[in-house]
Amino acid sequence: MKAASQPRARDEQERLLVIDPARDAFADYQIDALPQFFRQGDALVLNDAATLPASLRAGPDLELRLMSELEDGTWLALCLGRGDYRIPTEERGAPPQLALGDELCFGHGLSARVRWLDPSSSRLLRIEFEQRGGQLWQALYRAAAPIQYAYVPAPLALWDVQNAYAARPWAFELPSAGKPLRFETLFRIAARGVTLASLTHAAGLSSTGDPTLDARLPVAERYELSHETATRLRAAQANGGRIIAVGTSVTRALEAASASGVLRGGMQRTELLLGAGSRLRTCAGLLTGLHEPGTSHFSLLEAYAPRPLLERAIHHAQRQGYLQHEFGDSCLILKGSLNVGDTKRAAEWRQAG
C-alpha cells in the first residue's frame, strides 16, 4: 500500500474503510461519516498522549531515538549511525561503540550519560539526562525533533505529529489513529450520546531498522487510565454500550487494564500482544490506520476480525488507493456498523466482497 508522504492538507479528508465482521463486509466512506457508526451509550476512547520530539543528535554519526521512560528516571533509546531519517532505518550504519558513563551532548543545554548497554545489541541503551524538571523539558524540546521515516521526505514540525486533544507528552511516535479526528467530528459523535473518554499511552517506536530488535517491539509501554474513566467505561458496558478504541495503543492499554476480568484504572506498564484468538474483554471496535498483513499492527486487527475478511478489505483498500502510515487513511472495524437497509452501500459491499 502507498504511504502517505506528508501531513494532510487542511481541507483534504481522510478516507474511511468500514469493516463489519458481523456481516463479513466492508465499505468505503470519508472520515466525516464516522459519527453515524456509533449509537447512544457507546464510548470512544482516545489516547491523549502528546508526541515528544524523540530524535536527538549527538554528532553526525549518532542519532538517538527515545523509546521509553523507565521508572528509575532513565530512558531506553535506540542508536542509529550516520545519516538521518531520509535514509531508510534498515540502511543506517552502525552507531559508534559507546561505554557506560559516556557523556552525550545534544546541544541546547541537553546532555546525558550512558547508564546501560544492551548485551545483545549495540543499538539499544539506557541514558540518564543530566538536567531535571523544567530545565530538562525545555532543553529536550529545543534539542530534539520528531521521529520520522524515509517515506515522509520533508522535515516534520512538532505540530505535524500532535493529535488535536493531546496533553502529556508520553508518546515517542504519533498515536496516529487519532490524527484524522477533528473536533467537529468528535463533537458530532458526542452529540449522538456517545461518551468521549481518554487514557494516556506511551506509544513507542514502530520500527528500529534491525529485525532482531523489531522482534522485541513493542517494549513495555506505560499507560494511565484514570479511575474515573474506568468507572464510566464499566458503566457504559453494563448498559450495553460498546467501547471503541482509537488506535492499537488504546486497545492494548484497555485490554491490559481488564486482564483481571474487570476494567481497572491506574498507571501500569504493558507488553501485551494481541492477535488472532485473543479474547477482547473491553474493546468492541477499533478505529485505526490501514495496516498490511505481516505487520504487528495487522496481527492485532485479527483480534477484531477474521483474517480472510481483513485481507480482502486491505487488498480492496490497496486497489482503491488508500494511503497507509501516520498521515494515511482510516479503518473502522466494528460489528454491526454496516446497515443492511442502506441499499446503495449494500450494492457496494457485494461488489467489494
Non-local (6+) Cβ contacts of 227 within 8 A are 265, 266
Identity of the residue, 121 or 138, whose beta carbon is nearer to other proteins in the bound complex = 138
Identity of the residue, 55 or 162, whose beta carbon is nearer to other proteins in the bound complex = 162
Do β-strands 243-246 and 43-47 pair in parallel, antiparallel, or remain unpaired?
parallel
The distance of closest approach from Cβ of residue 137 to other proteins in the complex, given in angstroms and rounded to an integer, is 4
Identity of the residue, 137 or 151, whose beta carbon is nearer to other proteins in the bound complex = 137
Angle between helices 307-319 and 343-352 (to 10 degrees): 100
Q: What is the rounded distance in angstroms from the CA atom of residue 237 to the CA atom of residue 283?
A: 10
Contact 20/335 with Cβ under 8 angstroms?
yes
Q: What is the rounded distance in angstroms from the CA atom of residue 97 to the CA atom of residue 104?
A: 12
- Residue 324 C-alpha cell reads as 497507509
The distance of closest approach from Cβ of residue 13 to other proteins in the complex, given in angstroms and rounded to an integer, is 20
- Residue 286 C-alpha cell reads as 477499533
Q: What is the rounded distance in angstroms from the CA atom of residue 300 to the CA atom of residue 351?
A: 26
| Diameter over CA atoms, the chain | 67
DSSP string covering 180-224, please?
A: T--HHHHHHHHHTTPEEEEEEE----S--S-HHHHTTPSPPEEEE
Identity of the residue, 134 or 294, whose beta carbon is nearer to other proteins in the bound complex = 134
Residue among 342, 333, 270 at smallest CA distance from 305: 333
The distance of closest approach from Cβ of residue 52 to other proteins in the complex, given in angstroms and rounded to an integer, is 7
Identity of the residue, 119 or 134, whose beta carbon is nearer to other proteins in the bound complex = 134
Identity of the residue, 54 or 286, whose beta carbon is nearer to other proteins in the bound complex = 54
Q: 3-state DSSP call for residue 114?
A: strand
Residue among 177, 338, 297 at smallest CA distance from 246: 177
Question: What is the residue whose three cell numbers read 501531513?
Answer: 7
The distance of closest approach from Cβ of residue 141 to other proteins in the complex, given in angstroms and rounded to an integer, is 4
- Residue 200 C-alpha cell reads as 494516556
Q: What is the rounded distance in angstroms from the CA atom of residue 226 to the CA atom of residue 237?
A: 17
The distance of closest approach from Cβ of residue 230 to other proteins in the complex, given in angstroms and rounded to an integer, is 14
Q: Would you tell me how many other CB atoms lie within 10 Å of the CB of residue 7?
A: 18
The distance of closest approach from Cβ of residue 306 to other proteins in the complex, given in angstroms and rounded to an integer, is 33
Identity of the residue, 86 or 168, whose beta carbon is nearer to other proteins in the bound complex = 168
Chain centroid offset of residue 323 CA: 16
Identity of the residue, 156 or 317, whose beta carbon is nearer to other proteins in the bound complex = 156
The distance of closest approach from Cβ of residue 225 to other proteins in the complex, given in angstroms and rounded to an integer, is 13
Contact 50/162 with Cβ under 8 angstroms?
yes
The distance of closest approach from Cβ of residue 312 to other proteins in the complex, given in angstroms and rounded to an integer, is 34
| Interacting residues toward other proteins by CB under 8 A | 46, 48, 50, 52, 133-134, 137-138, 140-142, 158-159, 162, 164-169, 183, 186-187, 190, 196-198
The distance of closest approach from Cβ of residue 184 to other proteins in the complex, given in angstroms and rounded to an integer, is 10
Identity of the residue, 210 or 326, whose beta carbon is nearer to other proteins in the bound complex = 326
